[in-house]
Amino acid sequence: MTDKELVVFLRAQNTKLISTIEELTKELAALKEAILEKDKGAEKLKRLATINLPKKTEKRQNTSSFLENKLQAPTPKERGNNGAKRKVYDNIEEFVEEVLPSDASFDEKAAVYLFHRDVIRYEYIPPRLIKHIYRCKKYRMGDDFFEGNAPIAPFLNSNFDSSLLAHLIQQRYVYGLPVERIMKYLNEMGVDIPKATTHGLIEKSAELLDRLMPVLKDTILEDAYIHFDETYHTILGSDKGSRKGYFWSAFSHQNNLIQFIYENGSRSKTVFTNYLPNDYQGAVQTDGYSSYKVLEGWDYPKAIRLGCVQHCKRKFIEIGEQTQAQEVIDLYNEFYSIRKKKPKEKWKQDSLKVYKKLEKKLREIERDPEVLPNHILSKATAYCLNELESIYNIIISTSYDLDNNIIERPMRYISISRRNSLFCGSNAGARRTAILYSLAVSCRLNNVNTFSYFKDVIQRLAESPTMTHEQMRSLLPDRWAE
């Protein structure tokens, strides 16, 4: 065998050996990982876990170097960042680009491929508005005519797809951007939609989604444990003046669904009584607002009212440093301490002991001659004495929350809108806001992607104008499936 033939033979053998070692290295690494996960505590497996993989070779080596180093293949790259694992985003679009060496002396045809390493970079591409043209062709077969049909548009004589409507709703009612800011953002992305058109699309979307509101109300009222709260927003009047308008909300503890109610901005008790039927049978948790006291009378014989420990405690926190106030705060905190540290079967017994101490302390402050009737301490005490029965209704059961925070947190979406958008343009605009917030916030409470939800539900409602009650029930965020 000549020297030239020997070199060719060695190169061929070298290539085969490299390929074999790469496969064995991958198998060994996978086996090592599987064994460690199966039983990290076994001594035998610990010994197997210490198997050393071949060390990484130099980037450029000739044939003799590989033979001398026994054709050692590279090992998987060790993780940095103090051992912390990087998050892998498997659910996003993936693009693979082959990267060749940039050295001027490199010749791909003459080189022998050894292995590759993957370097990941997450790239952001700005959103695009696509002009999708459906070329609906028409044919004739004998005496019959056939024509392709484009997908149904959500609105009559509109060119906008449900995906754009979903984007507008998401930006406005989930991320709190005012319409002007959404338009500016789209304009920077190359999309120029007039302000009137944007408002019109949101308005029509709310009208379409309004079909779900009666179903949402029925679903919430089916729950035997619901929460109520209210907050204000600034509303513009016909004379361009502004006033406070109130949004009410009802929350289903079981289904994590919330509905915002707006009736011309009223804070009257009738808004609450019109929503909650007199035959409602269950528990309703509220703050101490007087309109909710109707639950304690004969109008709702089958309902019980639950108070809010946080609202009571807050009255004394606002007083500041004062010995009697701090004593009451400590007693309210004991309710939380019991639920955090004690087993559930002891909650009622231990909480009743604290309740008796709390009532005794509040009575002492009420009878204290040094506390004037108009003093802030006297007012806080009177509020908490009025709420004692509703607090008692909570602690005699282990099924109820100590506070109303579960609905207070979603109500912050209205506060964000009040800060970012400043006002609702009219009562009609406020009603649309209530509809869209009801579904958007319910999506967040059920960990549903708001864009996917509105894109799908708007299209379904547009395609099926005569849905049954049960079909629309499946479109609420707690049951929705794309």
CB-CB neighbours of 329 under 10 Å: 18
What pLDDT does 283 receive?
Answer: 96
Residue 353 and residue 215: Cα distance in Å, rounded?
Answer: 43
Name the residue among 304, 302, 309, 281 with its Cα closest to residue 292.
Answer: 304
For 258, counting Cβ atoms within 10 Å of its Cβ (0-12 exposed, 13-18 middle, 19+ buried), the class is buried
Residue 242 and residue 77: Cα distance in Å, rounded?
Answer: 63
Q: How do residues 83-121 score in pLDDT, each as one tens digit? A: 667 777 777 888 899 999 989 999 988 999 888 888 888
Segment holding 332, helix H or strand E? helix 323-341
CB proximity list for 68: less than 8 A, separation 6 or greater:
none
H helix count then E strand count, the chain:
18, 7
What pLDDT does 57 receive?
Answer: 45
- DSSP summary character for residue 227: E
Residue 22 and residue 74: Cα distance in Å, rounded?
Answer: 8
pTM across the whole model? 0.76
Q: Check if the beta carbon of residue 277 is closer than 8 Å to that of residue 294.
A: no
pLDDT < 70 positions in the chain = 1, 3-4, 7, 36-84, 239-240
Instruction: Give me the residues paired with residue 260 across strands.
Output: 249
What pLDDT does 7 receive?
Answer: 67
Domain boundaries, given as residue ranges, for the chain: 1-125, 136-302+404-482, 308-401
Instruction: Give me the residues paired with residue 236 across strands.
Output: 242
CB proximity list for 322: less than 8 A, separation 6 or greater:
377
Nearest-Å Rg of the Cα atoms of the chain is 34
Residue 413 and residue 49: Cα distance in Å, rounded?
Answer: 52
SS3 at position 388: helix
What pLDDT does 58 receive?
Answer: 45
What pLDDT does 192 receive?
Answer: 83
Identify the sign of the CA torsion 317, 321, 325, 327: positive
What pLDDT does 35 receive?
Answer: 72
Per the listing, tokens 């708001």 go with 450
Per the listing, tokens 């964000």 go with 416
DSSP 416-454: HHHHHT--BSSHHHHHHHHHHHHHHHHHHHTT--HHHHH
